[in-house]
A and B are shown apart, each in its own frame.
Chain A
Amino acid sequence: MRFGNKALAGLVLALAAAAANAQPLVVFAAASLKNALDDVAALSATRPTISYGPSSGLAKQIESGAPAQVFISADLDWMDYLEKRKLIREGTRRNLLRNKLVLIAPAGSAVKAEIGPGFPLAKLLGDGRLATADPAAVPAGKYTKAALEKFGVWDSVAGKLAPADNVRAALLLVARGEAPLGTVYSTDAAVEPKVRVVAAFPDGSHPPIIYPAALTASAPASGPAADFLALMSSPAARKVFEKYGFTPLN
Chain B
Amino acid sequence: MFDALTPSEIEAVRLSLKVASVSVLASLPLGFALAWLLARFEFPGKTLLDALVHLPLVLPPVVVGYFLLVLFGKRGPIGHWLDQAFGLVFAFRWTGAALACAVMGLPLMVRAIRQSLESIDRRLESAAATLGAGRWAVLASVTIPLSVPGILTGMLLSFARSLGEFGATITFVSNIPGETQTLPLAIYTYTQVPGGDAQAMRLCVLSVILSLGALMLSEILVRRANRRIHGDAH
Contact = CB atoms under 8 A, between A and B. Distances in A.
Do A and B touch (CB < 8 Å)? yes
Most chain B CB within 10 A, of A138, A162, A177, is at A162
Interface in A151-206: 161-165, 169, 172-173, 176-178
B6 to A, nearest CB: 15
Given A178-B69, A178-B73, A137 B189 contact: yes
Contacts, number: 55
B192 A56 contact: yes
B192 A137 contact: yes
A130 to B, nearest CB: 11
B215 interface: no
A173 B66 CA distance: 10
Nearest to A178: B73
Nearest to B73: A178
Contacts of A129: 92, 176
B189 A162 contact: no
B174 A169 contact: yes
A162 B70 contact: no
A176 B74 CA distance: 9
Given A131-B174, A165-B170, A176 B192 contact: no
Given A176-B69, A176-B70, A178-B73, A164 B192 contact: no
B29 interface: no
A178 B91 contact: yes
Interface residues of A, number: 23
Contacts of A162: 92, 173-174, 176
Interface string A129-158: 101001011100000000000000000000
Contacts of A164: 170, 174-175
A56 B174 CA distance: 17
A137 B193 contact: yes
A48 interface: no
B74 A177 contact: yes
A54 interface: yes
Q: At the interface, is chain A mostly helix, strand, loop or mixed?
A: mixed
A60 B171 CA distance: 21
Interface string B133-176: 00000000000000000000000000000000000001101111
B182 to A, nearest CB: 14
Given A178-B69, A178-B75, A163 B175 contact: yes
Contacts of A138: 192
A52 interface: no
Interface in A1-48: none
Contacts of A116: none
Interface in B91-118: 91-92
Interface string B57-81: 0000000000001100111000000
A81 B171 CA distance: 27
Nearest to B173: A162
B174 A60 contact: no
A136 B189 contact: yes
Contacts of B173: 162
A136 B192 contact: yes
Contact of A57 (B175, B176, B192): B192
Nearest to B189: A136
Given A162-B92, A165-B170, A177 B75 contact: yes
Contacts of B194: 77, 81
Most chain A CB within 10 A, of B69, B170, B173, B174, is at B174
B211 interface: no
A21 to B, nearest CB: 33
A163 B176 contact: yes
Nearest to B178: A159
Shortest Cβ-Cβ A-B pairs, 8 listed: A137-B192, A56-B192, A162-B174, A177-B75, A178-B73, A163-B175, A164-B174, A165-B170
Interface of A: 54, 56-57, 60, 77, 81, 129, 131, 134, 136-138, 161-165, 169, 172-173, 176-178
17 contacts: A56-B192, A56-B193, A77-B194, A129-B92, A134-B192, A136-B192, A136-B193, A162-B92, A162-B174, A163-B175, A164-B170, A165-B174, A165-B175, A169-B170, A176-B75, A178-B73, A178-B91
